Copies of this chain bind each other. A is one copy, B any other.
């Protein structure tokens, strides 16, 4: 089954909201083997809606619309659909009962005429009950093509999609399914990875596709395959991933959805029964924020200090003022003492410290903007790193965070 998703409403076109509805719908459709070939966002004008339906049905046998089903004047999807299918509105008693129920349960104000008018629905459509809102979903079928219109409110849409649309589509789906797995890597750019795996890539089965997804110094590799037998497809992908491990296993974190670098850190630290503390200057708490996003991280992350101000580095972390004067606050030497002091302060097995210039101005150091020193102290071992991440403040911070997590993983994996 081939699908186009159409999101109706100006808020997406003026960039006010992110289209998360289509993300949810495509994910669910892909799971049951429906291929989404196009996602379109359009304005809530009658002609635009009708033109878009005309276009979509040329390439798709399933069209899912969201938005424009509400009670206010700018909600016109229902009327556009009536025009498109030569249909008219009629009161539906079941829908009316549902609206009354919703008002009884969730709304303190009395029902207005506009709310009651929500029970006027196109006579030819199959009605999809909305347990959380007053606008029902609508399912038209014409020339073997399904046209499904869902409310734009995310949790209303999700409930109708999951409980009423997906089960019905699953029956119709021709069972060609798409399986994809995304391999998380770290520490190497996409062109280098592609160089290392070019022979493997060339020899991928004809129905398997590889995509490189780079972002802020990290590359994800997505393998996808289409076919009928889920177990067989999974086997095929897993075999290719096994081969990939033999080529670039040193930079693979794991499979997206199954794990993340933060989760791998938790696993490794927990397994080795070791603890971590952090001293974050230029990253200002971002490494800790990433680590503590994972439930259970308190098992290894004891805590950290953010010595943002230079004086704090001296007073709380007892960095000698001469060291700062001699080497500057952004230096390998200071990073090292930061890590050592934090380790003994927090009594952790491993400590990581970061100091750098995120910019845009130089701050208390002569090092160029973008310079970041990272130091890891593991027991008695001290490892120093120096990087430059350019002049864009947010990027410097994010790259320093990513790199710190990677270096920690490297350290506890080694």
A interface residues, Cβ below 8 angstroms from B: 9-20, 22-30, 36-43, 48, 55, 70-75, 105-107, 109, 112, 114-115, 132, 153-155, 178, 180, 182, 188-192, 194-195, 201, 209-215, 222, 224, 278, 280, 283-289, 291-293, 295-298, 301-309, 311-312, 315-316, 345-347, 358-361, 363, 388-390, 392-395, 397
Contacts and interface: CB of A to CB of B under 8 A. Distances in A.
A394 B262 CA distance: 14
A312 B302 contact: yes
Contacts of A155: 392, 395
Classify the secondary structure of A's interface with B: mixed
Contacts of A18: 18-20, 23
A283 to B, nearest CB: 8
A389 B292 CA distance: 17
A42 B59 CA distance: 12
A170 B115 CA distance: 43
A127 B291 CA distance: 41
Contact of A194 (B72, B358, B389): B72
B292 A284 contact: yes
A18 B316 CA distance: 42
Given A39-B40, A40-B39, A214 B70 contact: yes
Contacts of A306: 278, 285, 288, 292, 303-306
A255 to B, nearest CB: 13
A64 B198 CA distance: 31
A43 B15 CA distance: 22
A14 B27 contact: yes
A195 B112 contact: yes
